[in-house]
Structure 1
Amino acid sequence: MHFKPPMTMMDFFRKSEGIWFIERNVHHFDVTDNESGESNLIVDVIEPDSSKVAEVCALQNVNPKIATGGASFRWMATTDEKEPNADYAAILIDIPDDESKKTGKLIRNKGYVEGIPVVSRYWFGDDGILTINTDYDNNQGQERAWFINDDFRVRVSSVRMMNGVNLVTYCSERRCVSPVKLEQMLAHHN
């Protein structure tokens, strides 16, 4: 069976829905220390009629009627935690440029680099790679993400400070499979 990558933001959000195990490496160019770690990412799709769409669009004075929906992202050190930390959460709303929905804006209630409401530009390459550019007050961020298959994806990002690139991050992300889905997969392969 041939894998088909998502080519619109809402398809990307829908394919991303669920819990992901992330292994990341961060290289800081301004210090000698680098870091690596593991965490979990929880992604939930937000439909266009959700009140969250209107709330986030209001932060940027954007008409919520042009939004196609969005997603909430919550990061946790481990899924054993009782509740995700609100400081490690963001809501992204999709505002496509045209009917192709391959390019557009992401309206965020909170940016990754600076914790302020921000608007990002995105586009999908013909190869299915999603690129997101974000201009903050003092930084610029670029993130690229793509699915290897339905349950594994890769993310790379860089943050550019006014004096040059400050850090580069590589993440491999593996979907956490529920016990029910695992049983179905085992039954299918036996």
Structure 2
Amino acid sequence: MNLTSFVERSAGTWRSMRSGHSLAFQQFEEVLSQITIEQLTSHDQRVLDLLESTSQDPALIQSPFRMEWSAESDWEPDDPSEVSSGSCVLVPVPEDQTSGALLRSVGYAEAEQAISQYRFLSDGTFVLTTKYGQSIAEERIWFVSEHVRCRSSVLRTSEGSGVLQTSFASEVRRLTL
């Protein structure tokens, strides 16, 4: 697996079922989401804006993309039917064939711009590590088949010693007929 094939395989609309366990709150959460991943060009204004804010050289990027999500959780205390949604632009900056940095307009664990480190394992699993001010998030994404992928995450304390939250998601591509 390389970065270009990972982004190409990820493009499309996915239906996600995620189970999360918040150790900090001793709460179990089930989330149903729709995730859309769209490939972008290096000349897309959203990509250029993110590059400018991080002072990154546009010549070094590869396979930028945008992700949009809409999620329903059973852990909404006031309104269980409340839908959370958002989007972010992601711009990979490869260091070599299997690793690099990923510029994110919005992070996974904390709603702030972030620079993550990514790498591919020998089995094709994409591993993304992001250090935030209060936590460290590690996500793993792997393909079971062309239209099914899995995602797991672990959110640790900023020192990396304690686990705050874990999750696992199975995602199925929505096919258009």
Above 0.5 in TM-score? yes
Paired with 1:136 and 1:77, the residues of 2 have a C-alpha distance of 23
Residue 64 of structure 1, aligned match among 25, 36, 58: 58
Paired with 2:175 and 2:89, the residues of 1 have a C-alpha distance of 23
The alpha-carbon deviation at position 49 of structure 1 amounts to 2.6
Residue 38 (1) aligns with residue 32 (2)? yes
Letter aligned with residue 13 of structure 1: V
- RMSD after superposition: 1.7
Which protein is richer in strand relative to its size?
Answer: 2
Letter aligned with residue 173 of structure 1: E
| Length-normalised TM-score, structure 2 | 0.87
Q: Which residue of 2 aligns with 1:128?
A: 124
| Length-normalised TM-score, structure 1 | 0.82
The alpha-carbon deviation at position 50 of structure 1 amounts to 2.1
Paired with 2:36 and 2:9, the residues of 1 have a C-alpha distance of 12
Q: Which residue of 2 aligns with 1:168?
A: 166
Paired with 1:139 and 1:32, the residues of 2 have a C-alpha distance of 18
Which protein is richer in helix relative to its size?
Answer: 1
The alpha-carbon deviation at position 75 of structure 1 amounts to 0.5
Q: Which residue of 2 aligns with 1:118?
A: 114
Gap runs ≥5 in structure 2: 73-82
Residue 153 (1) aligns with residue 149 (2)? yes
Q: Which residue of 2 aligns with 1:89?
A: 87
Q: Would the aligned equivalents of 2:7 and 2:63 in 1 still touch at CA under 8 Å?
A: no
Paired with 2:67 and 2:163, the residues of 1 have a C-alpha distance of 25
Letter aligned with residue 23 of structure 1: M
Gap runs ≥5 in structure 1: 1-6, 79-83, 180-190
Q: Which residue of 1 aligns with 2:44?
A: 50
Q: Which range is displaced more, 135-144 or 69-78? A: 69-78
Q: Would the aligned equivalents of 2:117 and 2:129 in 1 still touch at CA under 8 Å?
A: yes
Letter aligned with residue 50 of structure 1: D
- Mark the structure with the bigger radius of gyration: 1
Q: Would the aligned equivalents of 1:60 and 1:117 in 2 still touch at CA under 8 Å?
A: no
The alpha-carbon deviation at position 10 of structure 1 amounts to 2.5
The alpha-carbon deviation at position 21 of structure 1 amounts to 0.4
4+ runs deviating over 6 angstroms: none
State the number of aligned residues.
165
Q: Which residue of 1 aligns with 2:78?
A: none
Structure 1 SS opposite 2:175? coil
Q: Which residue of 2 aligns with 1:105?
A: 101
Letter aligned with residue 150 of structure 1: E
The alpha-carbon deviation at position 112 of structure 1 amounts to 1.2
